[in-house]
């Protein structure tokens, strides 16, 4: 491990190429996207390409061939290829936890050997895949039924973080592929409103709960799991729990103590990070919702993107180019956010999913050498599906004072027959990238206002508000249709983009120590609330809020 990783911990800002990029930025920062197209009408030829069932267009970004060349040199200086090799081959690149990062092994359907500590882990992966396949067959056929022999028709995944966001997003995205006789639900929030509102819709005789917790001790998940079990026991008995509860975990003792049959415990491993776990048995809810074959297609799509990331040349390597674009805007243009804008209602949860994947991965201020970072890392990821967003926050993107790079994502073929809807949707999808780039000049505004019959004075007053400066960067990701396979590729595309950015910024992308402190303090405060006690270690504000809660709780 040390032999491979000791050579990749490089401060990007200290490289010679970073200095060249800074000089290049100063040269082109005032060159508009319109001017870049005017200067080089053929830029679309080298800034767009097809890969499998995807079309990528990066031409509406502040890039030139020189920019691409400099980023290629930076990739070499930060040893990106070596870092990729270390990840795919099972080196323990998550050094703060001494773990490998091998979510890519979960979709290694070619079954090429992948060794970890001298052991080929692929038999472990395929054993769990087979176990999910067989369990799905039993549920689908009715062989695994409820305690009154009724067929299971509701699947409730209880998890949090990656154990919820990933499978929830995928199930929503693949709604056209749902089995007709099953409905999935997802419970994550400790707020009792979440689980209580879902339980209202369920029948304990036909509901299967999946408790997704690696340690089977996660407070939010286990509190919700116990609430679900209590609800179930109003109709069923303790001996019936094993028919209605299964676990995705590594803690067999805790699982069996809960009442779950050890044979219905699905395993995953410490080399699978939570926010990269939907490909593992955490995806059991996906399997039960869309079927095992569609889950395999999801894996196959991700595997194709893995190969693209490993093998494609820099100039046509989509995750790598997206990673460098993020660095370009974040570190040079001072754009702190990035909008993910899928023009597909099925991808309604995709931006939220990427918030965790990206911000939990690269939201770090300490580099891989343990030193405080002096440059910006991590982008603030946000977004909503189009066209809803056009009537909400696009005003800020078009005419606000902030630069907000946007990823526009769409599928050409819809899963429905409402072609008129699709034509309008895609027209807006295409038009927005053009409008954000070209804007609307004062001359155009003046001409349009004159055609409306306004006087010169009226035009003079109104014109500043009607002008769009344009020059807002966008990237286009266009797929033929949203299928399990293309969805798998799309998710893996962003996974690798996040990884490559982490390498450039020299951070460990696969730990998340920042979430631990809040959990620890919450545990302390919970004891104080239950014991009605005072802790002099709290600041006056925190103690006052605790006191206020206790007061309101009593009234």
Nearest alpha carbon to residue 16 among 84, 90, 73, 61: 73
- Catalytic residue from among 391, 416, 443, 551: 391
Residue 553 bears catalytic tag: no
Prediction pTM value: 0.96
**pLDDT class for 3, splitting at 50, 70, 90?**
very low
519 is catalytic: yes
In contact, 358 and 379? CB cutoff 8 Å: yes
- Spatial contact of 439 and 400, defined as CB atoms under 8 Å apart: no
User: Of the listed 172, 205, 360, 384, which one is catalytic?
Assistant: 360
Residues 201, 226, 447, 519: which is the catalytic one?
519
For domain 2-91+312-436+473-511, is the CATH number 3.40.50.10490? yes
Share of the chain above pLDDT 90, in %: 94
214 is annotated as an active-site residue: no
Q: What is the DSSP letter of 416?
A: S
pLDDT reading at 8 higher than 90: no
pLDDT tens, position by position, 373-411: 999 999 999 999 999 999 999 999 999 999 999 999 999
Alpha carbon distance 415, 193 (integer Å): 33
**Domain regions of the chain by residue span:** 2-91+312-436+473-511, 135-295, 439-466, 516-554
Per-residue pLDDT tens digits for 46-58: 999 999 999 999 9
**123 burial level (CB within 10 Å; 0-12, 13-18, 19+):** exposed
Asked whether this chain's domains 2-91+312-436+473-511 and 135-295 adopt the same fold, the reply is yes
Q: In the chain, pLDDT over 70 holds for what percent of residues?
A: 99
Q: Return the pLDDT at 253.
A: 96
Q: Are the C-beta atoms of residues 187 and 194 closer than 8 Å to each other?
A: yes
Total length of the chain? 555
Tell which residue, 491, 541, 501, 532, has the closest CA to residue 165.
491
Superfamily of domain 135-295: Glucose-6-phosphate isomerase like protein; domain 1 (3.40.50.10490)
Identify whether the C-beta of residue 435 lies closer than 8 Å to the C-beta of residue 444: no
């Amino acid at each position: 491990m040390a032999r491979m990783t000791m050579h990749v911990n490089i401060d990007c800002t200290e490289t010679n190429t970073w200095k060249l990029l800074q000089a290049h930025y100063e040269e082109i920062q005032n060159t508009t996207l319109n001017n870049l197209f005017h200067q080089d009408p053929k830029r679309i030829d080298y800034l767009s390409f097809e890969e499998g069932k995807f079309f990528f267009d990066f031409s509406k970004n502040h890039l030139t061939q020189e920019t691409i060349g400099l980023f290629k040199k930076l990739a070499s200086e930060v040893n990106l290829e070596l870092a990729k090799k270390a990840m795919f081959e099972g080196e323990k690149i998550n050094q703060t936890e001494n773990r490998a990062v091998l979510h890519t092994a979960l979709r290694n359907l070619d079954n090429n050997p992948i060794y970890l500590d001298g052991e080929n882990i692929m038999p472990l992966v395929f054993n769990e895949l087979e176990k999910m396949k067989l369990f799905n067959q039993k549920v689908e056929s009715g062989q695994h039924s409820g305690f009154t022999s009724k067929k299971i028709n509701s699947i409730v995944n209880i998890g949090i973080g990656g154990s919820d966001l990933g499978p929830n997003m995928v199930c929503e995205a693949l709604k056209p592929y749902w089995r007709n006789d099953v409905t999935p639900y997802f419970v994550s929030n400790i707020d009792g409103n979440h689980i209580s509102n879902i339980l209202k819709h369920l029948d304990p005789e036909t509901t299967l709960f999946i408790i997704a917790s690696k340690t089977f001790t996660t407070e939010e998940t286990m509190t919700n799991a116990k609430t679900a079990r209590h609800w179930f026991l109003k109709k069923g008995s303790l001996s019936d729990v094993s028919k209605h509860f299964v676990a995705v975990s590594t803690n067999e003792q805790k699982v069996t103590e809960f009442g779950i049959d050890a044979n219905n415990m699905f395993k995953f491993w410490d080399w699978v990070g939570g926010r990269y776990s939907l490909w593992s048995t955490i995806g059991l809810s996906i399997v039960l919702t869309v079927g095992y074959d569609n889950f395999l297609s999801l894996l196959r799509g991700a595997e194709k993107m893995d190969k693209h990331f490993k093998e494609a040349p820099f100039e046509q390597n989509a995750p790598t180019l997206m990673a460098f674009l993020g660095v370009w805007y974040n570190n040079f243009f001072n754009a702190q956010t990035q909008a993910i804008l899928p023009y597909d209602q099925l991808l309604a949860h995709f931006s939220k999913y990427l918030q965790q994947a990206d911000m939990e991965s690269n939201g770090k201020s300490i580099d891989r050498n343990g030193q405080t970072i002096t440059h910006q890392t991590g982008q603030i990821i946000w977004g909503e599906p189009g066209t809803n967003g056009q009537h909400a926050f696009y005003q800020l993107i078009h005419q606000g004072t902030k630069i907000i790079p946007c990823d526009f994502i769409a599928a050409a073929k819809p899963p429905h027959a409402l072609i008129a809807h699709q034509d309008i949707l895609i027209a807006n999808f295409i038009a927005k990238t053009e409008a954000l780039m070209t804007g609307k000049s004062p001359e155009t505004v003046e001409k349009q206002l004159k055609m409306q019959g306004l006087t010169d004075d009226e035009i003079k007053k109104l014109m500043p508000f009607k002008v769009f400066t344009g020059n807002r960067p966008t990237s286009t990701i266009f797929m033929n249709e949203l299928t399990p396979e293309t969805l798998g590729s799309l998710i893996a595309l962003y996974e690798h983009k996040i990884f490559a950015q982490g390498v450039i910024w020299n951070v460990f992308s696969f730990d998340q120590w920042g979430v631990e402190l809040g959990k620890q303090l919450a545990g302390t405060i919970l004891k104080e609330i239950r014991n009605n006690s005072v802790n002099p270690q709290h600041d006056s504000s925190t103690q006052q809020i605790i006191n206020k809660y206790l007061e309101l709780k009593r009234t």
